Chain A
Amino acid sequence: MTDLAGTGRGRSGGPGADAGRPLRGGWVGRRARGLLGLLATLAATFLGLLFVTFIIGRVIPIDPVLAIVGERATTAQYEAAREALGLNEPLLVQFGYYVRDVLSGDLGTSILTARPVIEDIGRVFPATLELATLATLFGVLLGVPAGVLAAVRQGRLTDQLVRLLGLFGYSMPVFWLGLMGLLLFYGQLGWVGGPGRLDTTYQFIFELEVPRVTGAILIDTALAGAWDVFRNALSHIVLPAAVLGYYSLAYISRMTRSFMLEQLRQEYVTTARVKGMPEWRVVWVHALGNVLVPLITVIALSYAQLLEGSVLTETVFAWPGLGLYITQALFSGDLAAVMGGTIVVGAAFILLNLLSDLLYRLVDPRAR
Chain B
Amino acid sequence: MSALLEVEDLRVAFDTPAGVVEAVRGLSFTLGRERLGIVGESGSGKTMTGRAILRLVQPPGRVSARRLAFDGQELLTLPERRLRALRGRRLAMVMQDPKYSLNPVMSVGRQLTEGLRRRERLSRAEARRRALAMLEAVQIRDPERVYRAFPHELSGGMGQRVMIAMMLIPEPDLLIADEPTSALDVTVEAEVLKILDGLVRERGLGLIFISHDLPLVSRFCDRVLVMYAGRVVEELKAAELERARHPYTRGLLRCLPRVGGPRGDLATLTRDPAWAEQGAE
> Which residues of A approach B to under 8 Å, CB–CB?
8-9, 11-21, 266-268, 270-279, 281, 286, 289-290, 292-293, 363-366
Contact = CB atoms under 8 A, between A and B. Distances in A.
B239 interface: no
A302 B140 CA distance: 45
A366 B188 contact: no
A14 B155 contact: yes
B12 to A, nearest CB: 15
Contacts of A17: 155
Interface in B96-138: 96-97, 99-107, 114-115, 118-119
B158 interface: yes
A286 B103 contact: yes
Contacts of B141: 16
A116 B86 CA distance: 71
B175 to A, nearest CB: 10
Interface string B74-96: 00000010001111110111011
Interface residues of B, number: 51
26 contacts: A11-B99, A11-B152, A13-B155, A14-B155, A15-B157, A15-B185, A18-B155, A19-B153, A20-B142, A20-B153, A267-B96, A271-B95, A271-B101, A271-B102, A271-B103, A274-B54, A275-B88, A276-B84, A276-B85, A276-B86, A276-B170, A290-B103, A364-B104, A365-B104, A365-B150, A366-B152
A271 B100 CA distance: 9
Contacts of B51: 270
B200 interface: no
A20 B152 contact: no
Contacts of B56: 270, 273-274
Contact of A365 (B97, B99, B105, B140): B105
Contact of B105 (A15, A21, A289): A289
B145 interface: yes
Nearest to A269: B103
Contacts of A9: 152
A13 B157 CA distance: 11
A7 to B, nearest CB: 9
B95 A270 contact: yes
Contacts of A279: 80
Interface in B124-183: 140-142, 145-146, 148-150, 152-158, 163, 166-167, 170
B166 A18 contact: no
Given A272-B103, A289-B103, A290-B104, A15 B145 contact: no
